[in-house]
Amino acid sequence: MFRVVETRAVIVHLVAIVCAMSIACSAAGQSIGQKPLARDFVVIDISGGREAANYPVSRLTALPPEGWTDEYKTDKIVLARIAAGVFQRRTSIPEYPYISTNANDTTTIRVKESYYVGIFPITQRQWELVTGKRPSSFRNDDAYAMRPVESVSYTMIRGDREGTLYPFSRSVDADSFLGMLRAKTGLQGLDLPTENKWEYACHAGNTSQYGNGSDDPVSMLDLGRYRENSGMADKTCSAKEGTAEVGKYQPNKWGIYDMQGGVWEWCLDAADPDHVPRRRLPLSLDVNRILKGGHWDATSDMCAASVRAMRSGSIGWDVSGVRLVLNGAMRK
């Protein structure tokens, strides 16, 4: 079993390297900050399902020779290590449906610690194995397993009691999706990404709005499922329409799939942290939380890295999904 520890000295060293590299880079679409250590993966085996007493956790130090096969989209959850670094964010974050195309006003955001991020969003089969439930709208039995889970709310992921109190508490409810995963893996750092960590992983070292290094909205044709490449469909459709099976589109430059298009992905942050109660109250269910990445029925500009959506954490709908992060360093 692995445990999460802090490595402040390593983080400080990485940040110093990042700063030196960022000075040497221009802002014209070049990589800024340090590349992630992309040969360090954490794998969670959930094949035992809801009745399993624990979920074994292992490490990979290289990509599997056969690549990310179907087992990593159903029976296993895989996360890749992302090193600390910096990225450029639009100074005025555009909020759906008010989308800005002004790419000139940016600010530097620093991610101060390394972390692991899911190679794929959580799929319907992975959610089913952990919780025993199938909440998604795209439920065709012949094409559901490897599609991203949707129709899940923030409170379904973290819980509607302790799980609503971030940033004052990182606790989650025991009966939530994350509560079950934490209990059976011992990985207390498993969580939703903050908006900063989500966007850092999405940019993948680029200053562009799309993970392949481009600002051209046509990039979405290759990066993920959205309105212009068969996203609109009936809910009983095959995976050729509606949501797509994860991993079917190009990964970004750090090897992360489906961060744009597919499903909005819940972030840990409240849209307005001042409205989060410091103790358990019914009001906490109505706090707006941030979502990123666009979705299967979105236009390409809605899928841009800097665009933010907001929704009550108690509401899940057919475009809301989840990608996990594991905070902290890992060692035996």
Render pLDDT for 109-154 as a digit per residue (tens, 0 to 9). Answer: 899 999 999 999 999 999 999 999 999 999 888 899 999 999 999 9
Task: Give the model's pLDDT for residue 50.
Answer: 96
**71 touches 82 (CB < 8 A):** no
Tell me what pLDDT residue 32 has.
43
Name the maximum alpha-carbon separation found in the chain.
52
CA distances from 243 to 25, 70, 120, 122, 319 (A): 37, 17, 13, 13, 9
C-alpha to C-alpha distance for 198 and 11, rounded to whole angstroms: 19
Domain count of the fold of the chain: 1
| 48: containing domain | 3-331
Instruction: Give residue 230's pLDDT.
Output: 80
Cis peptide before 217 (omega within 30 of 0): no
Of residues 278 and 10, more confidence is placed in 278
Q: What is the pLDDT of residues 245-256, one digit of tens each?
A: 999 999 999 999
pLDDT tens digits along 79-118: 999 999 999 887 555 555 544 444 557 788 899 999 999 9
Percent of all residues in the chain with a pLDDT value above 70, rounded to a whole number = 78
CA 83, CA 36: separation in Å to the nearest integer?
Answer: 4
**pLDDT band at 211, cuts 50/70/90?**
confident
- State the pLDDT at residue 69: 97
Q: How many CB atoms are closer than 10 A to CB 211?
A: 28
* pLDDT tens for each residue of 62-78: 999 999 999 999 999 99
Which CATH number characterizes residue 233's domain? 3.90.1580.10
pLDDT digits over 175-197, tens only? 999 999 999 999 999 999 999 99
**Please, are residues 195 and 109 in contact by the beta-carbon 8 Å criterion?**
no
Helices (H), the chain: 8-24, 124-131, 154-158, 177-185, 195-203, 220-223
Best CA proximity match to 27, nearest among 112, 118, 90, 70: 90
Nearest alpha-carbon partner for 322 in 127, 139, 172, 116: 127
pTM: 0.84
For the segment 230-255, the average pLDDT, to the nearest whole number, is 86
Q: Please answer whether residues 322 and 122 qualify as being in contact, where contact means their C-beta atoms are separated by less than 8 angstroms.
A: yes
